[in-house]
């Protein structure tokens, strides 16, 4: 497990001429969390998931730009929420755009707002609110060191099977070569732009889009703390993680 502390804010500011832009799609409804505010605006230990996520992003070395996609009705509210993060990391440009009806559309909207001086673009999820700076840095470093596209992955712990239309198991999948994919995912900027321009159908992540145009996607180790907060139990787990002192 990794720790997020004030010293890292200083590190981030040293990276003020950073080469990394991070897109944070946060326009999802979050219906699987139950009724309430859009998912990114749900509270975790008194702070929204979005603010947790962006605090960790701006504490990452090399990050100079963050673009958040917000629900169309919440752009001003999201912008206000981010004021405190802006104050803590004045060297990082943080902007908010209107998200789309799919995650892919929300990413595309944020990507269009990234200034051209950033050669590395990471795509994160506000829902992975506790993804630590070390993980974000690992992904950015892999791109910096020459990978065109990078995903953080974890081994799959459950047995996975395919089922047919009747719910009958039709084949257990060998899990030894399977990995669960997290965010942030990292790209050379031109690769991500090309992948989105070529997109014809909807994908749940950006590495999937990049694969479609023949890009080789490399992996780095993920982090259990970067769990995707989707269901009520995930929120309870995230609270426990924070209660254990992981920032
Ligand atoms: O729906 P899912 O859990 O895959 O969402 C992953 C991330 O994408 C979340 O941070 C969510 O806010 C974001 N999203 C978005 N625009 C949408 C749908 C999801 O920005 N239309």
Q: Are 91 and 12 in contact (CB under 8 A)?
A: yes
Q: What is the pLDDT of residue 30?
A: 80
Distances (CA, A) of 196 to 83, 102, 103, 193, 241: 30, 13, 12, 5, 35
| Residue range 34-57: mean pLDDT, rounded | 93
pLDDT in tens, 10-37: 444 444 469 999 999 999 988 888 888 8
Question: What pTM did the predictor assign?
Answer: 0.92
Ligand 1 binding pocket includes 102 (Cβ within 6 Å)? yes
Crossing angle of helices 103-111 and 189-198, in 10° steps, is 130
Which helix (H) or strand (E) covers residue 117, if one does? none
Q: How many helices (H) and strands (E) does the chain have?
A: 9, 12
Q: Does residue 4 carry a pLDDT above 80?
A: no
Q: What does the alpha-carbon distance between residue 116 and residue 239 come to, in Å, rounded to a whole number?
A: 38
Mean pLDDT of 187-213: 95
Burial of 232 (0-12, 13-18, 19+ CB in 10 A): exposed
Q: What is the pLDDT of residue 37?
A: 85
Which of 23, 6, 13 minimizes the C-alpha distance to 195? 23
CA of 34 to the centre of ligand 1 (A): 15
Residue of 130, 117, 113, 180 lying closest to 152 (CA atoms): 180
Residue 34: exposure state from Cβ atoms within 10 A (0-12, 13-18, ≥19): exposed
Per-residue pLDDT for 7 more than 60? no
Judged against a pLDDT cut of 90, whether residue 247 lies above it is answered with no
Q: Which two tokens stand for residue 58?
A: 């701006």
Instruction: Summarize pLDDT for 122-137 with one digit per residue, the tens.
Output: 999 999 999 999 999 9
Q: Report how far apart, in Å, the C-alpha atoms of 73 and of each of 66, 67, 70, 77, 243 are.
A: 20, 17, 8, 8, 32
d(CA 124, ligand 1 centre) in Å: 10
Pocket test of ligand 1: the residue of 22, 23, 24, 27 to mutate, having most ligand atoms within 8 Å of its CB, is: 27
Average pLDDT in the 41-57 region? Answer: 96
pLDDT reading at 217 higher than 60: yes
Tens digit of pLDDT for each residue in 51-92? 999 999 999 999 999 999 999 999 999 999 999 999 999 999
| Among candidate residues 32, 76, 73, 60, the one with its CA nearest the CA of residue 124 | 60
pLDDT at residue 233 greater than cutoff 60: yes
d(CA 138, CA 151): 10
| Cα–Cα dist 162/80, whole Å | 45
What the block records as the tokens of 242 is: 């924070």
> Using a 6 Å cutoff on CB, does residue 69 contact ligand 1?
yes
Q: How far is the CA of 207 from the centre of ligand 1 (A)?
A: 15
Domains of the chain: 3-243 (3.90.550.10)
What is the residue-averaged pLDDT of the chain? 92
């Amino acid at each position: 497990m990794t720790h997020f502390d004030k010293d890292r804010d200083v590190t981030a500011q040293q990276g003020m001429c950073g080469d990394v832009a991070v897109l944070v799609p946060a326009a999802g409804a979050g219906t699987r969390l139950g009724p309430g505010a859009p998912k990114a605006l749900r509270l975790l230990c008194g702070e929204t998931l979005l603010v947790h996520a962006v605090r960790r992003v701006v504490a990452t070395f090399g990050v100079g730009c963050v673009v958040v996609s917000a629900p169309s009705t919440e752009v001003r509210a999201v912008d206000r929420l981010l004021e405190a993060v802006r104050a803590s990391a004045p060297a990082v440009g943080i902007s908010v755009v209107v998200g789309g009806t799919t995650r892919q559309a929300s990413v595309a909207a944020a990507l269009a707002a990234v200034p051209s001086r950033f050669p590395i673009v990471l795509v994160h999820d506000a829902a992975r609110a506790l993804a630590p700076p070390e993980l974000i840095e690992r992904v950015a470093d892999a791109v910096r060191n020459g990978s065109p596209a990078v995903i953080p992955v974890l081994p799959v712990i459950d047995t996975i099977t395919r089922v047919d239309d009747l719910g009958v198991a039709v084949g257990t999948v060998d899990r030894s070569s399977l990995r669960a994919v997290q965010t942030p995912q990292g790209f050379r900027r031109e690769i991500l732009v090309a992948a989105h321009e070529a997109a014809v159908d909807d994908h749940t992540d950006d590495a999937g889009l990049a694969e479609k145009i023949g890009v080789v996607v490399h992996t780095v180790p993920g982090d259990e703390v970067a769990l995707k907060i989707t269901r009520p139990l995930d929120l309870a787990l995230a609270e426990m993680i924070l209660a254990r002192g992981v920032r």
